[in-house]
Structure 1
């Protein structure tokens, strides 16, 4: 049986280079090799905020980013969470398979709670990993391209699949993680790269915006540029970013810069990033909102057909 890939993003803004090297590059490489579902997780936007914000605008921006990086809607199913109600019906039986203690120990949820804009932890935030399990298992996903910080969520999905099968009979596979070239590319301030933390280079950023962001990136006072992740993490992160964009080891780039200092380092990184983003920016300009709406409508229909079939199978296995 062929593997099925499930991946996706919350529509909270434009995607950035951390997304690209963490998961998007894997998606592009895998399309056409395996069946792939790409989820726009709009319901999950309200896990850590009170309102979804400019949800329709963000969904359009996300779709345009997908098309820009090279995702082909003829080969992948791109769909919107709220358009597939059968997917969410899987959440109820799945919640019965995990304990409150198991959910409370999830380190990714703890980090997301710490950076939440809500005054109190919602039930949706607390059960976020189980919600993601429904996202993955509705299409019998077996491969999930993720960043390192999402691995605890995937373990919950594997747990849910295993316990459902033990209790009701074999229905779900236990999905495996697929790691990108840079599972944890840090932001320009040294912390986790995140849209909400304002430390990321978006895929839609202009050349000037990219240069301005990199100029403000943290470095250190040592003029000799070396690649030392332990003692010089900010410098190492910029070298890693340049290396990923150039397809070269960051150590080589550091040796070429030598004693050029932070100014030369940032110039090299800026040129590397802008050259890398040039074809992505070009493809983004070639697509419009009408393209995005058509892609989503077709994907929603295909995803809902799959979700209905899985829900019927789950009901039969449980005896409903």
Structure 2
């Protein structure tokens, strides 16, 4: 089918605008990160005084509970309001990001992950959505700039060096397995970005906790090591079954296309190595003796293998997956 150039152009504009909005959101989060520490400490002292006053009046107040009366609630500091504006900008960026994906698919009349540019676009969108869910569940909003940074870098590389004009996919990729296999690979890779960053930050925080002189300026600004550990574990637990499903679907597609389930192609081999590393992380995280730093190191290695698979294997090595740039 012919490509709709108008929709393709709108997709490119949405993509570029989403990157710009993500960068602006990063600036807001950095402002909160830089100037919000004193405000958070003052707000916590205000909450403590409010709990003491309410408790003295005979009303039981649970730990962490904020007074119900609006007049009693401490006003949000300016850095906190800026951080919330950063979240709103991130949501706006995600909507523009989704629009870029949908418009690309409509322009080409296929799923929008048929080349490296589109694949990276999909991976980054999943990463942003995953982080928004994490921010909703955990008090880690001030880390958003550190998560958006690799997203922005990936999208910049994808939109410049790896950009591909909208076009139908090659005949070898015109299969329903493109929808199943590649979507599972993109979804799991996007989610894996979050525990990768969380595990790196966990190692920094744990090092600071052991030696306060280490990362003296950056370490205290991070959430507790236990919070970062829970984020890394829960997101990996979610992504690993999706990744496993994607690997199995890839083997089935390989058998249908090439007559064998597994051929130790560079892409297949690296994906298998990543699968083994993440399986080792989950096993180590479930074993009491390997929790903490050693498990975090394994998770960082898994993330490094995933990034290696995304770029080096796709763009440098040659194999059965080279024509697609994805797999």
Classify the TM-score, shorter chain.
Answer: under 0.3
Higher relative contact order (CA 8 A, sep 6+): 1
Structure with the higher fraction of residues in helix conformation: 2
Please, what TM-score do these two structures have when normalized by structure 2? 0.25
